Amino acid sequence: MITPIILAGGSGTRLWPVSRKAYPKQFTSLAGDQTLYQDTLKRLSHLDAPVVITGTDYRFIAAEQAAEAEQDLSSIMIEPEGRNTAPAILTAALMHEDTPDAILLIMPSDHIVADEDGFRAALEEGRIAAEESRIVTFGSVPTRPETGYGYLELVAPAGACKAALPLISFVEKPDADRAADMIATGKYLWNGGMFMARVDTLIEAFDTHAPHLMLPCRAALAGAQTDLDFTRLAAGPWAKLEDISVDYAIMEKHDDLVVVPMDCGWSDMGSWDSVWRESPQDADGNVMQGNATAMDCTDTLLRSDNDGVELVGLGLEGITAIATGDAILVARTDDSQKVKEVLATLKAKEAKQATEFSKCHRPWGHYETLALGPRFQVKRIVVKPGAQLSLQSHHHRSEHWTVVEGSAIVHVDGEDMLKTENESTYIPLGAVHRLSNPGKLPLTLIEVQSGCYLGEDDIVRYEDIYARAEAKAA
């Protein structure tokens, strides 16, 4: 069988404002009811249970969305910090070192595939080549001169061939003219960022081409700790690793690479242009998602993720307009590759919308700031059934909680109280407290904070069923 290694730690900045560091695109629904990550898990459900590699901030999201999709995971490996794809892939291979002939499929978590039968057929061709101790890449047959993708150069035109072909080189993202020239030769495929190889083949390739990664990756794995259902790699050795992609570390140096052509409707969903292209369109080429309406528009993408915001496009052509609760993007669709420049500008002006959402997700649920002043803050807090916040106290603020939906068990300085709809309680400054949802429905409450400092780092945590670090937000 094949064991998938799913890379789920990226931030998807080109899909701002829907995708941000706080909640990136792989965990978002962009072209259907399921998230891209959930679609990936289902696409691989005929294989062995996958290993998911992600960051600390996303570990609970990855586990929760897998459970929602009814997909089993072998494990979730937590990177202490991002070090690009090469260290993550090597560590995953070392995890399976005791089964050297096992085949690993390394792939991103945020792509889409329209033809799953074609995708499975490509994996089977890849398996045959991988069993011969080759490293296999997968390239998608181009349908247009795309400047947002890297390319794979073949020794000869692929034509209708589906079997693995020798790879000459990796080509960085080209300009439009060069992309058109390359496609005309028939010898280039889009680089899908997917690889397949035996465990011993991968480890040998790293030992040959990137030996400096071996010791710290081994040390990070040897020092890994079990954290609930997660495997947390040791932070000290991991911090010493070079930040490098697997392409640069291994693939561009290896002399026995082959490519399996895929013609299965693949897209990396890496820009709003690709979202528009891959989503169902009306007769005028418009895509409308959420609370959006198009009037006299053509080739336009309109998306509103806010129930309170109705987005209307009038007389637009080739425009992307995206509205969330705290940010709006309006751009020509063919400029969507430039969204990274928007992020750089927002970060330079220290706009929190560059990386954070007004709705903050936590393992117990989420909260959203409704109003914020110099000495007060009003939040809507939603706690999932059976979930609870940490046992904690604050140095600088008091809190007043009012239950508006569901029921809550409120613990304050050793006393437990049951509160139901339209009941409230007061949490004095310094009081040790905890909030739990004992019911089978979500708990919603309004929290009013008052004090001289209202930052999320004003938390002293005493107990936490989610094993989070003390300095993290509740």
The pTM (predicted TM-score) of the whole model is 0.90
Closest CA to 58 of 35, 42, 90: 35
**In terms of residue numbers, what domain contains 423?**
359-463
Q: What is the pLDDT of residue 272?
A: 96
The radius of gyration computed from the CA coordinates of the chain, to the nearest angstrom, equals 24
Three-class SS of 189-230: EEEEEEEEEEHHHHHHHHHHHCHHHHHHHHHHHHCCEEECCE
Q: What is the pLDDT of residue 287?
A: 97
Whether residue 284 sits in one domain with residue 258: no
Whether residue 227 sits in one domain with residue 334: no
Q: What is the pLDDT of residue 433?
A: 97
Residue 59 within any structural domain of the chain: yes
Question: Within 10 A of 418 (CB to CB), how many other CB atoms are there?
Answer: 11
Whether residue 366 sits in one domain with residue 318: no
Q: What is the pLDDT of residue 470?
A: 41
Whether residue 404 sits in one domain with residue 259: no
Residue 472 within any structural domain of the chain: no
Hey, what are 251's tokens?
Answer: 């693939």
CA atoms within 13 A of residue 48's CA, in its CB half-sphere: 16
Q: Which helix (H) or strand (E) holds 127?
A: helix 116-130
Q: What is the pLDDT of residue 473?
A: 43
Q: How far apart are CA 220 and CA 215, in angstroms?
A: 9
CATH code assigned at 367? 2.60.120.10
Whether residue 162 sits in one domain with residue 89: yes
* SS3 call for 276: helix
Q: What is the pLDDT of residue 469?
A: 53
* SS3 call for 454: coil
Whose tokens are 């900045």? That residue is: 13
Q: What is the pLDDT of residue 12?
A: 81
CATH code assigned at 158? 3.90.550.10
For the chain, what is the domain count? Answer: 3
Whether residue 134 sits in one domain with residue 149: yes
Q: How far apart are CA 231 and CA 61, in angstroms?
A: 15
- Answer whether 406's CB lies under 8 Å from 442's CB: yes
Give the end of a domain, one of 232, 267, 302: 267
Alpha helix positions (H), 7-84? 36-43, 59-68
Whether residue 394 sits in one domain with residue 257: no
Residue 393 within any structural domain of the chain: yes
40 — phi, psi (to 5°)?
-65, -45
Which residues in the chain land under pLDDT 70?
469-474
Whether residue 214 sits in one domain with residue 131: yes
Whether residue 303 sits in one domain with residue 154: no
457 — phi, psi (to 5°)?
-90, 0
Q: Which amino acid is at 436?
A: S
What sign results for the dihedral spanned by CA atoms 13, 17, 20, 25?
A: negative
Residue 49 within any structural domain of the chain: yes
Q: What is the pLDDT of residue 228?
A: 78
Give the end of a domain, one of 227, 244, 267: 267
Residue 474 within any structural domain of the chain: no
Give the end of a domain, one of 349, 368, 388: 349
Q: What is the pLDDT of residues 17-52, one digit of tens each?
A: 999 998 999 999 998 889 999 999 999 999 999 999
Whether residue 263 sits in one domain with residue 212: yes
Question: Who contacts 205 (Cβ-Cβ below 8 Å, separation ≥6)?
Answer: 135, 197, 250, 254
Whether residue 214 sits in one domain with residue 124: yes
Q: How far apart are CA 293 and CA 128, in angstroms?
A: 49
